[in-house]
Structure 1
Amino acid sequence: MTHRVAVFVRDGALPMEIGIVHRIFGQAGPGLYEVLTCTVTPGPVRTDADFSINVEHGPELLETADTVVVPASKPDDEARPMTPEIAAALARIRPGVRIASVCTGAFTLAAAGLLDGRRATTHWRSADRFRALFPQVLLDPDVLYTEDGGILTSAGVASGIDLCLHMVRSDHGAAVANEVARGTVVPPHRDGGQAQFVRRPVPEPAVSSTGRAREWALANLHRPVSLRELAARESTSTRTFTRRFRDEMGTSPGRWLSRQRIERARALLEETDLPVDDVAERAGFGTAASLRLHLQTELGVSPTAYRRTFRAERV
């Protein structure tokens, strides 16, 4: 059955965030998603730009949604995140429906009580205000996105892309999400735990200082890859390489390498009939037991269960 995604917009909506949801889910493939936009009162909705958008659907659409996405609204998110009309609209969402926010849309979810006791994030500039308003929420302002009990939140606008790709990947596997990413010309995966903002004492270099090492690592995932080898590819010390890598990628070389191995294993499980032992070897985990441990830690499933779910969908 087609999965219905309802984008709930409010006055002051950010057009780019609305477009992200339509773009990512809309490219996932025929029949996978239906993306519709709704608002409290159908008709023109003011944006934060010099134009309005016409929204045809009212809040009743939320009653039929499988996923609800709440983009940011400026400036009302922080000043007035909830009104009786918005509260009544959100009350229409069925129990168990996946709910997500982009950027300061998290203020609305928190004001509705949906984030109480849950881990969440929002734009780093709004973190102090968020904490003051919603101390009951476990705010983590240093990540790209979070997922806690079917409620997802993301940081700034670009991390909304990461969040939507994460949901597509969770629904239909890495191969579908990667194809969407290729069509959108964005990285196929940025781990939610990556830092959303890194202060740098100097401007970002025009040319990546770790790109050759990353390219070499991806070509050699099947074998052990040491930090010393990565640093040697850039003719630098391991300490300097690690610092530069964190500045450019927002995570450590080891964590990045582990993510690439997981993604390679997922693709092989989805797209081939290779035995799990061979998948583990080609992805650089060495043994099926090691692959099983990493996949269970990252995704909560075994390689066999993952293949059963996503390989069957693609055959």
Structure 2
Amino acid sequence: MSYPTPPGWYPDAAAPGNERWWDGATWTAHTRPLATVPVPPGPGRGSGAGGRSVRTVALVAAGAVVVGAVVTGAVLLTGDGEASPTAHRSSGAPSRPAATGTDAAGGDAGPSPASSPAGEDPTVLVDQLNGITLPIPDGWERVEHPVEEMLTMRTADAEAYYCPGTSSALCHHGTVTTRTASGTDATTPEEIAEEDIDAAAKRAYDEDIIGRPLHGGIMSHRQIAAGPVTVAGRTGYQVRWRVVTGKGPGGYVQSLAFPSAVGSESPVVVRYAFDAGPDGPPLALMDTLTRGIRPLGDSETGGGVGSSVAP
């Protein structure tokens, strides 16, 4: 019995010394210098039947991801009556480059989730592996070297502040991250979003990645919205919480899950964390950003994408 090869980095037969990303269904354009940890053989590449076999010495990406199933139904997530703010839209996000085997920058350990190729539109956050782009709002910045392996954008560093309850950790009024879902047994966008929201809230308002307390910890939360939504032409699901913290105004957290726009359509998770109070971004910006998510290479700016799904 044969089994599908999980997504991961495998040696590039067309470019010795490099690895290329296999998304579970096809080879992508993403490469990096060859790693040094031996792993089982990866999928073959070549023009003949079955492709050429290659001896692999790559580091497999942690955790096989599951294919997101499509859910139906609808819920209208509003901005609590606030006017929708503006965010940049892609006016022609770059198409995926041809697989030349020279895509990785010299000296780089590989295409970091937050890497920004030269000439990339500064108003668009490009998630190459998941095949989507997100608009970067005015006054927000792309994080070039995030602590966690998540593609990240947030309010400008000039507006950062010491997190309530600690004098060693900086917080931002608004943060959005995107990543491929992994390490979960959940299979549908609804299950993934409902499972992820607790972790998203804790990371934003309870404790950071190195264990420093934030905002005096989470005292309570309430769910203010949840339901299916169309994202980049695919049906996903989002859950939104209002979080009350021990110190500071608390905030709003949202987990959005939907199938990737490329390859095996592995599930993608986008997390939103907005401070409450006058310094936080308007809550309606969450919906504006969701509507602005596009498949990579899609230059359309018209409606439909990200809008709530009719019953």
Structure having the higher Rg: 1
Q: Could you say which structure has the higher strand fraction?
A: 2
Q: Which has the higher contact order (CA 8 A, sep 6+)?
A: 2
Q: Could you say which structure has the higher helix fraction?
A: 1
Shared fold (TM-score, shorter chain, > 0.5): no
Q: Structure 1 length as normaliser, TM-score?
A: 0.29
